[in-house]
Each structure stands twice: as structure tokens, then as C-alpha cells.
């Protein structure tokens, strides 16, 4: 693992690192904010943030303004990239992809099964397993984890969190894609990465995962969703009511807040990121 940059922020340290991923078979970058409380004698819990389409690890770090509250609460934040980059896929480098919603910057946090994507696009395993193991082995953090994200990253946070409930204490999302089976972004990405059999798509659809939950839900990680009502993707791509309805049907600990006038941008995220960090702290710091 190589440190690419390090900047002091609110008494803590904001770093960017690169490592060779065994899961993705390529070099990957990630960013990590360590609050001032983080020491070898005092490992701190971690919030994993998953960014959306076209983003890298840098968007959240530079635009969300999360470091101040994370430093106050004593929580580390790890921000991975959204896909492999620069590796050869089908004869062309990913950097040459023209579509913003497929390939570079659009990994959709799943394990691809279809060529040419299956060699490198194993983002589900990377986020759920490889990256946490790397972080916990190299930084003063504990194995207490929560997960959050925006848009495509909200989809990733919901699906990874729901499928790995013992590994994550809480889940949150801004403007998430809640049901790839029911939106154009999802159909394009899942068909390319997983093939045309929609029965294979279900495990990457938060609404379908929610519907399958049975029994007592009190022990499962609570979910918090924030959605702007001026979001131009709300009706066609996001459809948060589908997840709200499914959560209500199984009595899942789920909360959604809608915000008039807010759109899909980081102006929305930065306005309410403190609220999400406090939500996660209630579960990470127990």
C-alpha cells in the first residue's frame, strides 16, 4: 500500500492511498479520514462511503464537508473508488469508455459474471471484504463498521449492508437507486455485468432483498434515507417509495426524510451529512 497524499484536517488526517487489489486484479485508490481520537491504543469505528456514477474517491472528500463532524464524533471515513480504472477490457482501456453509466466510474458495487467485465469488476467482494480487511490491518480502526452512499453508491450501501447485516451496524443513503430492476440505469448495468437473466439481478436489488426478510428485524442494521424532492432522477431512476413500502411490509427499522427544493448534487449531501454521521455514531459507538 502506498500513501499518495496526507493533509491535516480538524485535528485528524485526510489521506489518499493506492494498493494492488487481489479481488479486482488492478491498482485501486481509496481515501481515509482518521479523526484525532484514532491511535493504536484507541482504534475507532469506520463509516464506508460509496460514491455515485462518474465519481472517484475524491468527490466526497472534497465536497461533502464530513471531516469536521467525523472528527468531533471520533469516526473514521473510508471512501473507495467507484470502479477499476485503466485496466484492459475488451481490447480497450476503461479510460476510453464513452458511457458515463457503464464501465469506469460505474461499477455498481456488484460481482460481474459476464465477459469482458468479470475479470476486474468484482466491486461487491472488494467493498464487503477485501477493503475492510486492508483498512483494519493498516490503520488504527476497529471492526465496527457502518456503510453509506449516494445514488449508485446508495444502491451499493443498501445491498451490501442488507446482505452482510452482522458486518455493518447501520446503513444510510442519499438519493439511492433502490431497485435496479425497475430503472433504466439498473437495466443497462445489470444486463451488461450479469447477463439477461433477471433472476440473477435480485441479490443486487435492495427492494427485493427487503421483501425476502422474515422474522424479527430488531437485530438488523437500521436504515436512514435522505431524498431531495427537486432531484431530476427521482421519478425515473430512484423511486425511494418502493423501498419504503417494502420496509414497512416487513417491519424493518427504516426511516426516510424528504427535503423540498434539494437536488441530486453534493450541495444536498453537504447539507445533511452531519445528520447521517450522528445517526451512524449512535450505532458505532455503543
**pLDDT tens per residue, range 105-156:** 999 999 999 998 999 999 999 999 999 999 999 999 999 999 999 999 999 9
Cβ(268)–Cβ(275) below 8 Å: no
The CATH number given to whatever domain includes residue 261 is: 3.40.50.1820
151 is catalytic: yes
Domain with 266 in it? 2-285
Contacts of 23 (CB under 8 A, 6+ apart): 122, 125, 126, 129, 130
Supply the DSSP symbol for 215: S
**Regions of the chain where pLDDT drops below 50:** 90-92, 94-96
CA dist 257 and 57 (Å) reads 26
What pLDDT does residue 89 have? Answer: 54
Whole-Å CA distances, 236 to 74, 100, 121, 206, 256 = 38, 17, 26, 16, 18
Q: Which of 81, 231, 276, 280 is catalytic?
A: 231
**Hunting for cell 430503472 — which residue is that?**
183
Buried-exposed string 207-219: b where 16+ CB fall within 10 A, e elsewhere? bbbbbebeeebee
CA dist 266 and 174 (Å) reads 10
What pLDDT does residue 162 have? Answer: 98
264 is catalytic: yes
CA dist 141 and 17 (Å) reads 16
- Hey, which residues does 258 pair with through a beta bridge? 227
CA dist 283 and 243 (Å) reads 22
* Number of independent structural domains in the chain: 1
The CA dihedral of 255, 225, 241, 176, to the nearest 10 degrees, is: -160
CA dist 247 and 223 (Å) reads 10
CA dist 239 and 243 (Å) reads 8
Q: 15: closest CA among 104, 106, 140, 133? A: 140
pLDDT, one tens digit per residue, over 173-187 is 999 999 999 999 999
What pLDDT does residue 97 have? Answer: 53
What pLDDT does residue 95 have? Answer: 44
Q: Which of 120, 150, 264, 276 is catalytic?
A: 264
CA dist 64 and 47 (Å) reads 14
Q: Which of 9, 51, 146, 151 is catalytic?
A: 151
What pLDDT does residue 286 have? Answer: 86
Amino acid at each position: 500500500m502506498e500513501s499518495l497524499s496526507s493533509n491535516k484536517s480538524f485535528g485528524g488526517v485526510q489521506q489518499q492511498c493506492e494498493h494492488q487489489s487481489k479481488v479486482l486484479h488492478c491498482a485501486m485508490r481509496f481515501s481515509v479520514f482518521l479523526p484525532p481520537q484514532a491511535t493504536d491504543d484507541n482504534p475507532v469505528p469506520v463509516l464506508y462511503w460509496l460514491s455515485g456514477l462518474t465519481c472517484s474517491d475524491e468527490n466526497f472528500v472534497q465536497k461533502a464537508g464530513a471531516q469536521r463532524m467525523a472528527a468531533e464524533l471520533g469516526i473514521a471515513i473510508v471512501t473507495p473508488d467507484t470502479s477499476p480504472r485503466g485496466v484492459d477490457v475488451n481490447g480497450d482501456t476503461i479510460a476510453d469508455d464513452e458511457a458515463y453509466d457503464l464501465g469506469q466510474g460505474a461499477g455498481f458495487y456488484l460481482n460481474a459474471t459476464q465477459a469482458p467485465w468479470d475479470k476486474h469488476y468484482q466491486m461487491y467482494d472488494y467493498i464487503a471484504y477485501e477493503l475492510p480487511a486492508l483498512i483494519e490491518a493498516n490503520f488504527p480502526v476497529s471492526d465496527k463498521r457502518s456503510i453509506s452512499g449516494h445514488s449508485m453508491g446508495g444502491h451499493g450501501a443498501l445491498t451490501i449492508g442488507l446482505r452482510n447485516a452482522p458486518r455493518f451496524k447501520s446503513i444510510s443513503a442519499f438519493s439511492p437507486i433502490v431497485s435496479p430492476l425497475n430503472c433504466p440505469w439498473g437495466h443497462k448495468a445489470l444486463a451488461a455485468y450479469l447477463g439477461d437473466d433477471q433472476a440473477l439481478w435480485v441479490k443486487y436489488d435492495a427492494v427485493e432483498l427487503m421483501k425476502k426478510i422474515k422474522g424479527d428485524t430488531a437485530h438488523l442494521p437500521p436504515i436512514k434515507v435522505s431524498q431531495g424532492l427537486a432531484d431530476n432522477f427521482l421519478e425515473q431512476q430512484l423511486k425511494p417509495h418502493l423501498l419504503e413500502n417494502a420496509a414497512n411490509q416487513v417491519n424493518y427499522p427504516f426511516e426516510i426524510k424528504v427535503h423540498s427544493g434539494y437536488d441530486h448534487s453534493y450541495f444536498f449531501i453537504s447539507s445533511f451529512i452531519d445528520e447521517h454521521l450522528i445517526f451512524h455514531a449512535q450505532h458505532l459507538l455503543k
